[in-house]
Amino acid sequence: MQEILFYIFSALTLLCGLLVVFNPFSRNPVTSAMFLVLTIISMSGLFVLLKAFFLAAVQILVYAGAVIVLFLFVIMLLDVKEEERRRYQKFGTFLGFAAVTGLAMLIINTIKQSGVSQALTGDGVAETKPLGKLLFTDYLLPFEIVSILLLVAMVGCILLSKREETAEAEAE
Protein backbone atom coordinates (compact mmCIF):
# COMPACT_ATOMS: atom_id res chain seq x y z
CA MET A 1 0.00 0.00 0.00
CA GLN A 2 2.72 2.40 1.07
CA GLU A 3 4.70 1.59 -2.00
CA ILE A 4 1.80 2.38 -4.30
CA LEU A 5 1.20 5.65 -2.50
CA PHE A 6 4.87 6.50 -2.80
CA TYR A 7 4.81 6.03 -6.55
CA ILE A 8 1.62 8.05 -6.91
CA PHE A 9 2.98 10.97 -4.89
CA SER A 10 6.34 10.88 -6.63
CA ALA A 11 4.77 10.83 -10.04
CA LEU A 12 2.49 13.72 -9.07
CA THR A 13 5.43 15.73 -7.71
CA LEU A 14 7.44 15.23 -10.89
CA LEU A 15 4.57 15.87 -13.24
CA CYS A 16 3.36 19.00 -11.47
CA GLY A 17 6.90 20.28 -11.13
CA LEU A 18 7.34 19.88 -14.84
CA LEU A 19 4.09 21.67 -15.54
CA VAL A 20 5.25 24.64 -13.45
CA VAL A 21 8.00 25.45 -15.89
CA PHE A 22 6.79 23.75 -19.03
CA ASN A 23 3.09 23.78 -19.68
CA PRO A 24 2.21 23.31 -23.34
CA PHE A 25 -1.39 24.40 -22.83
CA SER A 26 -1.07 27.60 -20.91
CA ARG A 27 1.60 30.21 -20.37
CA ASN A 28 -0.29 31.96 -17.68
CA PRO A 29 1.92 32.42 -14.57
CA VAL A 30 -1.10 31.86 -12.36
CA THR A 31 -1.39 28.34 -13.73
CA SER A 32 2.26 27.78 -12.98
CA ALA A 33 1.79 28.93 -9.42
CA MET A 34 -1.15 26.62 -8.96
CA PHE A 35 0.87 23.69 -10.20
CA LEU A 36 3.55 24.65 -7.73
CA VAL A 37 0.97 24.31 -4.98
CA LEU A 38 0.16 20.82 -6.26
CA THR A 39 3.85 19.92 -6.34
CA ILE A 40 4.27 20.97 -2.75
CA ILE A 41 1.18 19.13 -1.58
CA SER A 42 2.29 15.92 -3.20
CA MET A 43 5.72 16.37 -1.70
CA SER A 44 4.22 16.70 1.75
CA GLY A 45 2.47 13.43 1.00
CA LEU A 46 5.94 11.91 0.61
CA PHE A 47 6.92 13.33 3.99
CA VAL A 48 3.87 11.73 5.55
CA LEU A 49 4.91 8.41 4.11
CA LEU A 50 8.28 8.88 5.82
CA LYS A 51 6.45 9.56 9.09
CA ALA A 52 7.73 13.11 9.12
CA PHE A 53 4.40 14.59 10.06
CA PHE A 54 5.78 17.85 11.30
CA LEU A 55 7.61 18.53 8.05
CA ALA A 56 4.54 17.60 6.06
CA ALA A 57 2.40 20.05 8.00
CA VAL A 58 4.98 22.83 7.79
CA GLN A 59 5.34 22.19 4.10
CA ILE A 60 1.66 22.76 3.50
CA LEU A 61 1.28 25.60 5.97
CA VAL A 62 4.29 27.63 4.96
CA TYR A 63 4.74 26.87 1.29
CA ALA A 64 1.32 26.03 -0.04
CA GLY A 65 -0.35 28.43 2.38
CA ALA A 66 1.79 31.48 2.79
CA VAL A 67 4.43 31.57 0.10
CA ILE A 68 2.25 30.64 -2.82
CA VAL A 69 -0.48 33.05 -1.82
CA LEU A 70 2.14 35.75 -1.84
CA PHE A 71 3.30 34.58 -5.24
CA LEU A 72 -0.22 34.82 -6.59
CA PHE A 73 -0.68 38.32 -5.22
CA VAL A 74 2.50 39.50 -6.87
CA ILE A 75 1.69 37.84 -10.16
CA MET A 76 -1.77 39.33 -10.26
CA LEU A 77 -0.50 42.79 -9.39
CA LEU A 78 2.07 42.66 -12.18
CA ASP A 79 1.32 42.79 -15.83
CA VAL A 80 1.63 39.24 -17.08
CA LYS A 81 0.41 39.67 -20.62
CA GLU A 82 3.98 39.91 -21.87
CA GLU A 83 4.91 36.53 -20.46
CA GLU A 84 1.87 34.88 -21.99
CA ARG A 85 2.86 35.92 -25.46
CA ARG A 86 6.36 34.47 -25.23
CA ARG A 87 6.87 31.17 -26.99
CA TYR A 88 9.13 28.34 -25.93
CA GLN A 89 12.49 28.14 -27.60
CA LYS A 90 12.54 24.63 -28.99
CA PHE A 91 16.28 24.15 -28.87
CA GLY A 92 16.62 25.60 -25.41
CA THR A 93 13.80 23.49 -24.07
CA PHE A 94 15.33 20.41 -25.54
CA LEU A 95 18.73 21.12 -24.06
CA GLY A 96 17.20 21.88 -20.70
CA PHE A 97 15.33 18.60 -20.72
CA ALA A 98 18.41 16.74 -21.78
CA ALA A 99 20.56 18.26 -19.05
CA VAL A 100 18.05 17.70 -16.28
CA THR A 101 17.29 14.17 -17.43
CA GLY A 102 20.99 13.43 -17.60
CA LEU A 103 21.51 14.69 -14.05
CA ALA A 104 18.53 12.70 -12.83
CA MET A 105 19.71 9.52 -14.53
CA LEU A 106 23.11 9.94 -13.04
CA ILE A 107 21.84 10.37 -9.51
CA ILE A 108 19.32 7.54 -9.84
CA ASN A 109 21.97 5.28 -11.20
CA THR A 110 24.34 6.08 -8.35
CA ILE A 111 21.69 5.51 -5.74
CA LYS A 112 20.75 2.23 -7.39
CA GLN A 113 24.36 1.06 -7.40
CA SER A 114 24.73 1.97 -3.76
CA GLY A 115 22.15 -0.65 -2.97
CA VAL A 116 19.68 1.46 -1.03
CA SER A 117 16.77 -0.36 -2.54
CA GLN A 118 14.44 -0.95 0.38
CA ALA A 119 12.54 2.02 1.69
CA LEU A 120 14.15 3.57 4.71
CA THR A 121 11.82 4.15 7.54
CA GLY A 122 12.20 7.08 9.84
CA ASP A 123 13.72 6.55 13.25
CA GLY A 124 11.39 8.98 14.89
CA VAL A 125 13.72 11.98 14.83
CA ALA A 126 11.53 13.72 12.33
CA GLU A 127 8.66 13.88 14.76
CA THR A 128 7.79 17.25 16.24
CA LYS A 129 9.13 16.89 19.74
CA PRO A 130 12.58 15.41 19.08
CA LEU A 131 12.99 17.76 16.15
CA GLY A 132 12.26 20.76 18.35
CA LYS A 133 14.67 19.46 20.98
CA LEU A 134 17.43 19.03 18.46
CA LEU A 135 16.85 22.45 16.97
CA PHE A 136 17.22 24.16 20.31
CA THR A 137 20.15 22.13 21.55
CA ASP A 138 22.53 20.72 18.99
CA TYR A 139 21.54 22.96 16.17
CA LEU A 140 20.95 26.13 18.16
CA LEU A 141 23.69 28.07 16.41
CA PRO A 142 22.53 27.39 12.85
CA PHE A 143 18.98 28.05 14.01
CA GLU A 144 19.95 31.49 15.30
CA ILE A 145 21.93 32.25 12.18
CA VAL A 146 18.81 31.56 10.18
CA SER A 147 17.06 34.26 12.18
CA ILE A 148 19.67 36.77 11.06
CA LEU A 149 19.21 35.46 7.56
CA LEU A 150 15.51 36.19 7.81
CA LEU A 151 16.24 39.68 9.11
CA VAL A 152 18.49 40.29 6.13
CA ALA A 153 15.86 38.99 3.76
CA MET A 154 13.20 41.16 5.34
CA VAL A 155 15.21 44.37 5.33
CA GLY A 156 16.36 43.59 1.81
CA CYS A 157 12.80 43.12 0.56
CA ILE A 158 11.63 46.37 2.07
CA LEU A 159 14.65 48.18 0.76
CA LEU A 160 14.32 46.90 -2.77
CA SER A 161 10.58 47.38 -3.03
CA LYS A 162 10.03 50.73 -1.38
CA ARG A 163 9.70 53.80 -3.54
CA GLU A 164 12.95 55.54 -4.33
CA GLU A 165 13.34 58.75 -2.42
CA THR A 166 14.90 60.78 -5.15
CA ALA A 167 13.87 59.59 -8.54
CA GLU A 168 12.05 56.90 -10.37
CA ALA A 169 13.97 54.14 -12.07
CA GLU A 170 15.80 55.38 -15.07
CA ALA A 171 16.75 53.36 -18.06
CA GLU A 172 20.41 52.93 -18.87
Fill in the DSSP letter of residue 73.
H
Q: Does 14 bind other proteins (CB under 8 A)?
A: no
- 111 makes contact with other proteins (CB under 8 A): yes
Q: Between residues 1 and 166, which has the closer beta carbon with respect to other proteins?
A: 166
**Residue from 5, 14, 119, 146 binding other proteins (CB under 8 A):** 146
> How far apart are the C-alpha atoms of 172 and 170, rounded to whole Å?
6
What does 119-152 look like in DSSP terms, one character per residue?
A: PP---STTSHHHHHHHHHTTTHHHHHHHHHHHHH
Separation of CA 107 from chain center: 19
Comparison of 69 and 151: residue with beta carbon closer to other proteins: 151
Count of Cβ atoms closer than 10 Å to residue 44 Cβ: 23
Interface segment toward other proteins; rule CB under 8 A; list 12-20, 37-45, 78-86, 102-110: 102-110
Binding mask 58-97 for other proteins (x = CB under 8 A): ----------------------------------x--xx-
Element at 46 (helix H, strand E)? helix 29-49
Q: Which letter does DSSP use for residue 59 in this model?
A: I
Residue ranges binding other proteins (CB under 8 A)? 92, 95-96, 99-100, 102-103, 106-107, 110-111, 113-116, 137-142, 145-146, 148-149, 151-153, 155-156, 159-160, 162, 164-172
